[in-house]
C-alpha cells in the first residue's frame, strides 16, 4: 500500500477530497498522517474525525522546524507528499530528499497569480481585477520557491460576470477537489 502524507493548515477541504477519494477507491493509497502548523484548523479536525494521525509542527526556529519535519516524514515514509493549503515554505533539504515526490495545489492557472502574497482570496481578487475571462487551478511539483515547480496538470474554470472573489474561489475550489485526487492517483500508478 502506498503512503501519502498531507500538509494542510486551512479548512482542509482538499484534504477531505483525498480522504473521500480513498474511501471510494479512486485513490489506492492510505494517508499516513497530516502535518499542520495550526492546531484546531479545519484540516486538523478532519484528521481527528477520520482517525488520521496528526503532527503539529510550528517551531519558529528554521533548523528545528526542519529536523522535526524530517523525523516525522522518516516515520511515515511517504510515497507522495501533498501540500493542500499549507503556506509555509518547505525547507530545501526536504525538497531534495523527496525530489519529485512533493506536490502542491494552487488556485490559479500558474504561472499567473502565483508566488509570495498570492494566497486565499488575494488570488481571486487579482484575477477579477485583471479582467481575465478564465482562471483555474494547478497541481505542480514543489521546489524551494513558492509556486514555481514544474506544472503537472491544470483545469480551467470560467470567470462569470458579477463574480466576487468569494464566488470565484468557491467555483475554483470545487474543481480543485476533482483535479487533486486524479493527479494523485495518476502519479501513484506511474511510479
Ligand atoms: C486551496 O485553494 C488550495 O489551492 C490552496 O489553499 C486552499 C486550501 O483550501 N493552496 P482547503 O483548506 O483545502 O479548503
Tell me the pLDDT tens digit for each residue of 94-133.
999 999 999 999 999 999 999 988 999 999 999 999 999 9
84 C-alpha to ligand 1 centroid (Å): 6
Separation of alpha carbons 106 and 50, rounded Å: 25
What integer pLDDT is reported at residue 191 of this predicted model?
60
R_g over Cα of the chain = 16
27 in Cβ contact with 184 (< 8 Å): yes
The number of the ligand 1 atom at minimal distance from the alpha carbon of 137 is: 4
Tell me the CATH number for domain 3-190: 3.40.50.170
Decide whether any atom of ligand 1 lies within 6 Å of the 108 Cβ: no
- 3-state secondary structure (DSSP) of residue 103: strand
Cell of 103: 506536490
* Model pLDDT for residues 128-183, shown as the tens digit of each residue: 999 999 999 999 999 877 788 999 999 999 999 999 999 999 999 999 999 999 99
Instruction: Please name the helix (run of DSSP H) or strand (run of DSSP E) that holds residue 117, with its range, or none.
Output: none
Cell of 95: 525538497
Let me know if 124 is a catalytic residue.
Answer: no
Give 139's strand partners: 105, 153
85 C-alpha to ligand 1 centroid (Å): 4
pTM of the model: 0.96
136, exposed or middle or buried, with CB in 10 Å at 0-12, 13-18, 19+? buried
Strand-by-strand arrangement of the 80-83 sheet: 54-56, 30-36, 3-7, 80-83, 102-106, 134-141, 151-158
Amino acid at each position: 500500500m502506498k503512503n501519502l502524507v498531507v500538509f494542510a493548515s486551512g479548512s482542509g477541504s482538499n484534504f477531505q477530497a483525498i480522504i473521500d477519494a480513498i474511501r471510494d477507491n479512486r485513490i489506492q493509497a492510505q494517508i499516513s498522517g497530516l502535518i499542520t502548523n495550526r492546531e484546531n484548523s479545519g484540516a486538523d479536525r478532519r484528521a481527528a474525525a477520520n482517525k488520521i494521525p496528526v503532527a503539529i509542527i510550528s517551531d519558529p526556529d528554521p533548523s528545528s522546524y526542519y529536523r522535526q519535519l524530517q523525523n516525522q516524514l522518516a516515520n511515515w515514509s511517504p510515497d507522495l507528499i501533498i501540500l493542500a493549503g499549507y503556506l509555509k515554505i518547505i525547507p530545501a533539504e526536504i525538497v531534495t530528499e523527496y525530489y519529485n515526490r512533493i506536490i502542491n495545489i494552487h488556485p490559479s492557472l500558474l504561472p499567473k497569480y502565483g508566488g509570495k502574497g498570492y494566497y486565499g482570496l488575494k488570488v481571486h481578487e487579482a484575477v477579477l481585477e485583471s479582467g481575465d475571462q478564465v482562471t483555474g487551478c494547478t497541481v505542480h511539483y514543489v521546489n524551494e520557491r513558492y509556486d514555481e515547480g514544474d506544472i503537472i496538470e491544470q483545469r480551467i474554470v470560467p470567470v462569470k460576470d458579477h463574480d466576487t472573489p468569494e464566488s470565484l474561489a468557491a467555483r475554483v475550489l470545487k474543481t480543485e477537489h476533482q483535479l487533486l485526487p486524479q493527479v494523485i492517483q495518476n502519479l501513484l500508478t506511474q511510479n
